[in-house]
Amino acid sequence: MAIGSLLIANRGEIAVRIIRAAQALGIRTVQAHSAADADSLAVKLADDAVLIGPPPAAKSYLDIGAIIAAAKEKDVDAIHPGYGFLAENAEFADAVVEAGMIFVGPDAEAIRLLGDKVAARDVARQAGVPTVPGSHGRVADLDEARALVEEIGFPVMIKAAAGGGGRGIRIAEDFAAFEKQFPQAASEARAAFGDGGLYIEKVIENARHIEVQILGDGDNVIHCYERECSLQRRRQKVWEEAPAFGLSPTVRAALTECAVALAKSVGYRGAGTVEYLYDADTQAFYFIEMNTRIQVEHPVTEMVTGIDLVAEMLRIAGGEKLSIAQDDVHVEGHAIECRINAEDPAQNFLPSPGQISGLSVPEGEGVRFDTMLYDGYFVPPFYDSLLGKMIVRGVDRADAIRRMEQALGALVIGGIKTTVPLHLAIAANPDVIAGAFHTKYLEGWLAGAPLSETENA
């Protein structure tokens, strides 16, 4: 059954992205929104809109009952969950199907298997994918944990099985720290994710974060090559690229084959991402998790492959088979994405909500700005601070970095502070230009206060 109408159960730039893809396919769009988002660009662009609750996400974008009721009221065929919020919530996927609608994503069973980070490690191992050394299953108590950390050695990571968005992760350098942090991590995870389950992984030092985009239709799975997401702050991605630089064809083939094998082992349907840590010195890679949804950084893959990943998701959800074969997927050039947040990088990333006064967006060949902004828009303080993503493509990496500098230089977002100065500094950083970085690089560099306004004042 093809999708004729779609409820977007998300907000911000991804809601806008989904509306545009759906409208291009002739799908009627209905934007579900909180009271704080009544004036959002997504509400303006969608064919119709429906209020789902007050500003706090728990009472709107995370309220399964309110979203299902809104979808029924508007009589839509399908619901797209975007990323974050309910995108990896198996209960939500079940509720959508029980209400007689299509969930744009994998079936609830696949979310249960892969969205739980502990269960996903088992699936990966069974599919022959190398995982980070660590616990098998959840770690029940401190005794079990003690035996395990003695075996794998410090430093170790204590991770929440239900964690995400860079949260729910702690590092212990030695046993004293571990004993203290383990119970704290359990109660924090219970409070933040409603699930206190923990597991343990060895820390892979100086690793890069490389991930593979996959698409499945239930019968077949293909990959759309990889992204490099090593420039992070607080374990959240800041700057992303496609392809990853300096990968040997052998490593690239192994990474992509493992991702496809993993997705095939569960009959995966929809778009998904298999995340790895990569040790450039030994060329070893380790599975860390799978995200069973569209990802923030999906545009860099679209820019180098020409594939519209959101359109593919909608077609697959509507019952179609993949429109592309593996041999049709080619990477051309190099793409970079910068996440532009309403935060002041000169003041330790202090949130900067407020009214936009003056917006000027660069245009041109190989430049794309995915955003929720319009001139006069008021950025609300209730949600994630992502305003948009500047994406460029160049003939090669050096060309892409140059184009990014130009695009960011031409971008004007008046009225609030944004992370544009951070990205301009990253683009001019010799280590970044040389590709000499890993997941801890950016934080180490920022600790030297390269962006501070007051340092020498």
Amino acid at 148: L
CB atoms within 10 A of CB 365: 7
Residue 129 partner contact from Mg ion, ligand ADP, none using kind-dependent CB cut-offs of 5 to 8 Å: none
Among 71, 95, 124, 157, the residue binding ligand ADP under the rule CB under 6 A is: 157
Name the token pair of 398. 């050096």
Interface map 24-43 toward ligand ADP (x if CB under 6 A)? --------------------
Per the rule left: phi > 0, alpha: psi between -120 and 50, beta: everything else, 312 is alpha
Per partner kind, with CB cut-offs from 5 to 8 A, the member of ligand ADP, Mg ion, none near residue 132 is ligand ADP
Find the shortest distance in angstroms from Cβ 296 to ligand ADP: 4
Length of the chain: 457
The reply to whether 201 sits near ligand ADP by the rule CB under 6 A is yes
Q: Which residues of 326-335 are buried (b: 16+ CB within 10 A; e: fewer)?
A: eeebebebbb
Q: At closest approach, how far in Å is the CB of 210 from ligand ADP?
A: 10
What kind and span of H or E run contains 125? helix 117-126
Q: Which residues of 218-232 are buried (b: 16+ CB within 10 A; e: fewer)?
A: beebbbbbbbbbbbb
259 interacts with, out of ligand ADP, Mg ion, none, CB within 5 to 8 A per kind? none
Query: Catalytic site residue 293?
Result: yes
Shortest Å distance, C-beta 87 to ligand ADP:
7
Residue 157 CB, nearest approach to ligand ADP (Å): 5
Task: Output the smallest distance, CB 232 to Mg ion, in A.
Answer: 10
Q: 3-class SS at 240?
A: strand
| Identity of the residue, 378 or 382, whose beta carbon is nearer to ligand ADP in the bound complex | 382
What does the alpha-carbon distance between residue 405 and residue 17 come to, in Å, rounded to a whole number? 24
Selected from 165, 183, 364, 381, the binder of ligand ADP by CB under 6 A is 165
Binding to ligand ADP (CB under 6 A) within 120-139 occurs at 132
Bridging pattern class, strands 334-341 and 354-355: unpaired
Question: Which entry of 170, 293, 315, 393 is annotated as an active-site residue?
Answer: 293
Amino acid at 50: V
**98 sits in which H/E element:** helix 90-98
Strand partners, 227: 211
Please list every residue from 231 through 290 that binds Mg ion, using CB under 5 A: 275
What is the C-alpha radius of gyration for the chain, rounded to an integer number of angstroms?
21
Site for ligand ADP in 72-111 (CB under 6 A): 83-84
Of 63, 77, 228, 297, which one interacts with ligand ADP (CB under 6 A)? 297
Mask: binding to ligand ADP, 356-395, rule CB under 6 A, as x and -?
----------------------------x-----------
202 with 152: CB under 8 angstroms?
A: yes
Under rule CB under 6 A, residue 236 binds ligand ADP: yes
Between residues 291 and 305, which has the closer beta carbon with respect to ligand ADP? 291
- Give the pairing of strands 208-217 and 221-233: antiparallel
Question: What is the rounded distance in angstroms from the CA atom of residue 444 to the CA atom of residue 136?
Answer: 32
Q: Which stretch binds ligand ADP (CB under 6 A): 16-24, 54-62, 291-299, 406-414?
A: 291-299
Q: Is 301 in the site for ligand ADP (CB under 6 A)?
A: no
User: 37 vs 275, which CB is nearer to Mg ion?
Assistant: 275
291 binds ligand ADP (CB under 6 A): yes
Q: Tokens representing 307?
A: 């594939």
Out of 182, 342, 439, 442, the residue judged to bind ligand ADP by CB under 6 A? 439
Could you tell me if 74 and 48 are in contact, meaning their C-beta atoms sit under 8 angstroms apart?
yes
Q: Find the binder of ligand ADP among 81, 115, 163, 243 (CB under 6 A).
A: 163
Chain centroid to CA 388: how far? 13
Cβ nearer to Mg ion, comparing 240 with 275:
275
Task: Please say which residue, 237 or 423, places its beta carbon nearer to Mg ion.
Answer: 237
Using DSSP's 3-state secondary structure scheme, residue 243 falls into: coil
Question: Which residue lies nearer to ligand ADP by CB, 149 or 157?
Answer: 157
Q: In angstroms, rounded to a whole number, what is the distance separating the alpha carbons of residues 121 and 114? A: 8
How far apart (Å, rounded) are the C-alpha atoms in residues 404 and 392? 6
Q: How do 78-80 and 102-103 pair as beta strands?
A: parallel
Residues that bind ligand ADP (CB under 6 A): 83-84, 132, 157, 163-166, 169, 201, 203-204, 207, 209, 232, 235-237, 275, 277, 288-289, 291, 295-297, 384, 439
Residues that bind Mg ion (CB under 5 A): 275
Q: What positions carry a catalytic annotation?
A: 293
